[in-house]
Chains A and B, each alone.
Chain A
Amino acid sequence: MTTVRAILHRYPAVSPAIVLVVSVIVFGLINGRFLAPTNLSLITQQVAVIGALGIAETLVILTAGIDLSVGSAMVLSSIVIGNAATGMGMPGPVALLVGLAVGLATGVLNGLLVTRLNLPPFIVTLGTLSIFTALTLLVSSGATVQGDAMPSILTWTGLTVSVLGVDITYGVLITLLLYVVVSFALARTAWGRHVYAAGDDKEAARLTGIRVSGVLLSVYLVAGAIVGITAWIQIGRDFGASPNAATDANLSVITAVVIGGTSLFGGRGNVWGTLLGALIVGVFRNGLALAGLDVLYQTLAVGILVIVAVSIDQWIRKVRK
Chain B
Amino acid sequence: MNTTIATATRTPVLAARRLVKTYGHVIGLDGVDLELYAGEVLAIIGDNGAGKTTLIKCLTGAEIPDEGELELDGKPVRFRRPQDAREAGIETVYQSLAVSPALDVAANMFLGREVRRSGALGSVLRMVDTKQMRARARAELTELGITTLQDVTVPIENLSGGQRQAVAVARAAAFGSKVVVLDEPTAALGVRESNQVLDLIKRLRDRGVPVILISHNMPHVFEVADRIHVQRLGKRAATITPQSHSMTDAVAIMTGAMKG
Contacts and interface: CB of A to CB of B under 8 A. Distances in A.
A210 B97 CA distance: 15
Given A10-B155, A188-B127, A193-B107, A210 B112 contact: yes
B126 A197 contact: no
Interface residues of B, number: 30
B137 to A, nearest CB: 14
Contacts of B98: 203-204, 207-208
B107 A209 contact: no
Interface residues of A, number: 26
A267 interface: yes
Nearest to B101: A200
Given A188-B127, A209-B82, A268-B102, A203 B96 contact: yes
A196 B158 contact: no
A206 B60 CA distance: 12
Nearest to B60: A207
B34 interface: no
Interface of B: 62, 81-83, 86, 92, 94, 96-103, 107-108, 111-114, 116, 125-128, 130, 155, 157-158
A203 B62 CA distance: 10
Contacts of A191: 126
Interface of A: 10, 184-185, 188-191, 193-194, 196-197, 200-201, 203-211, 267-268, 319-320
Contacts of B101: 200-201, 267
A267 B113 contact: no
Contacts of A203: 96, 98
Contact of B62 (A10, A194, A207, A320): A207
A47 B83 CA distance: 42
Query: Which residue, A10, A206, A209, A267, has most C-beta atoms of chain B within 10 A?
Result: A209
A203 B100 CA distance: 10
A201 B83 contact: no
A197 B158 contact: no
A208 B130 CA distance: 18
A319 B158 CA distance: 8
